[in-house]
Structure 1
Amino acid sequence: MARLKKAEKVFIVRSLAQFMTPTEVVVAIKENFKIDVTPQQVEAYDPTKTAGADLSQEFVDLFHEARKKYIDQPIYNIEAANDIVQLRVLSALFIKKQGNTRDAIKLSDQIQKIVKGFYEKKIEITGKDGGPLETVQTTVSKEGYLQAREQVLDEY
């Protein structure tokens, strides 16, 4: 088990707060710090797990702060949420999968949906001049209901 410096511990805590798995963190630690750690060692820095129950308060606070920051960030900060990034990835996959007709068609359809804007980010329904929708509540007698119902059914 590698002995970790504070910078490495902070990196692990922040990575776990961003929903990386312990295995992904092991790979990231190896790439960034050139040290070997085990997934079990990494898991000890996650206060949401049993293994992280004895984590110091400093790292618990850091974890919760990093997770809140990660969740509250605007969607455009997430690489894969941007259309151009998605198109680049799908394009690379399309080139690799050209021999597989079914996959190539699916990827082509996905690319077309992104390019043509079929994925609307937000739809907002409002009333007149952007105000709230008006709702009207009325009381109808049973006879009035049955009469209105018959009129509607007669139209069809």
Structure 2
Amino acid sequence: MAKGNMPVAVQTFIVQSLACFDSPSVVVAAVRKEYGETITRQSVEGYDPTKKAGERLAKRWRMLFDETRKAFLENTAGIAISHRAVRLRALQRMAEKAEDQGNMGLAKDLLKQAAEEVGNVYSNRRELTGKDGKDLPAPAAPVTFFELPSNGRD
């Protein structure tokens, strides 16, 4: 389907999907599923201003891309898998299914991953402490410099 013949809703969907870091092939499949439209990867790449094919993208679509990308990067709360409880629940379902099918190796790996998830192995939080685990010293008071009168001296 040519760019000019594509409905605005499909174009908007493509731009927003690309802004959320979906690959062109994923976008093609999603457009086919959501709208029943058949498009090519190359036509999808034309809507990505970060790629060579999209460098001449209309200002309207470029602004939508930038706004969507900014919102996506700032707000991960809307992504279900970013929450620990959702990840643990999915791991539980997978482990139960693996166990029912007799795949004990996979079940063991999933249980290990769940334990690591609970133990914050996958987080990048760091606790800062002083020597021997004691509290860090309080920050020094700020130093203020005052301009002294010159008393006629140069």
Distance 1:32 1:131, change over 3 A: farther
Q: TM-score, normalised by structure 2?
A: 0.71
Count of residue pairs the alignment pairs up: 131
Amino acid at match of 1:21: S
In the TM superposition, 1:60-75 aligns within 5 A as: 60-73=62-75, 75=76
In structure 1, list runs of 5 or more residues that go unmatched.
135-156
Question: In the alignment, what sits opposite 2:51?
Answer: 49
Deviation, 1:108, is 0.9
Which residue of the other structure, out of 4, 10, 13, is the alignment partner of 1:11?
A: 13
Matched, 1:88 2:89: yes
Map of 2:78 onto structure 1: 77
The counterpart of 1:36, out of the listed 38, 42, 47, is 38
TM-score by length of 1: 0.71
Equivalent residue, structure 1, for 2:148: none
For residues 96-115 of structure 1, what are the structure 2 equivalents within 5 Å?
Answer: 96-98=97-99, 99-114=102-117
Change (3 A) 1:106 1:52: same
Q: Is the 8 A contact 1:97 1:104 kept in 2?
A: yes
- In the TM superposition, what is the alpha-carbon distance from 1:126 to its structure 2 partner? 6.6
Displacement of 1:122 in angstroms is 3.2
Where structure 2 has 5 or more consecutive residues not aligned to the other structure, the ranges are 142-154
Report the aligned-residue RMSD. 2.7
Counting aligned pairs with the same residue, the percent is 35
Q: Closer, same or farther in 2 for the Cα pair 1:77/1:129, shift >3 Å?
A: farther
- Structure 2: distance between partners of 1:86 and 1:130: 38
By percentage of residues, which structure has more helix? 1
The range that moved more, 121-130 or 14-23, is: 121-130
Q: 1:35 is matched by which residue type in structure 2?
A: E
Which is worse superposed, 59-68 or 105-114? 105-114
Matched-pair contact (CA < 8 Å) for 1:26–1:42: yes
- Tell me the alpha carbon deviations over residues 43-72 of structure 1, each in whole angstroms, 9 at most, x when there is no partner: 110011111122111111211121111111
Query: Measured at CA, do residues 121 and 79 of structure 1 come closer, stay the same or move farther in structure 2, by a change above 3 Å?
Result: farther
C-alpha distance in 2, partners of 1:94/1:83? 16
Indicate if the aligned counterparts of 1:126 and 1:132 stay in contact, CA closer than 8 A. no
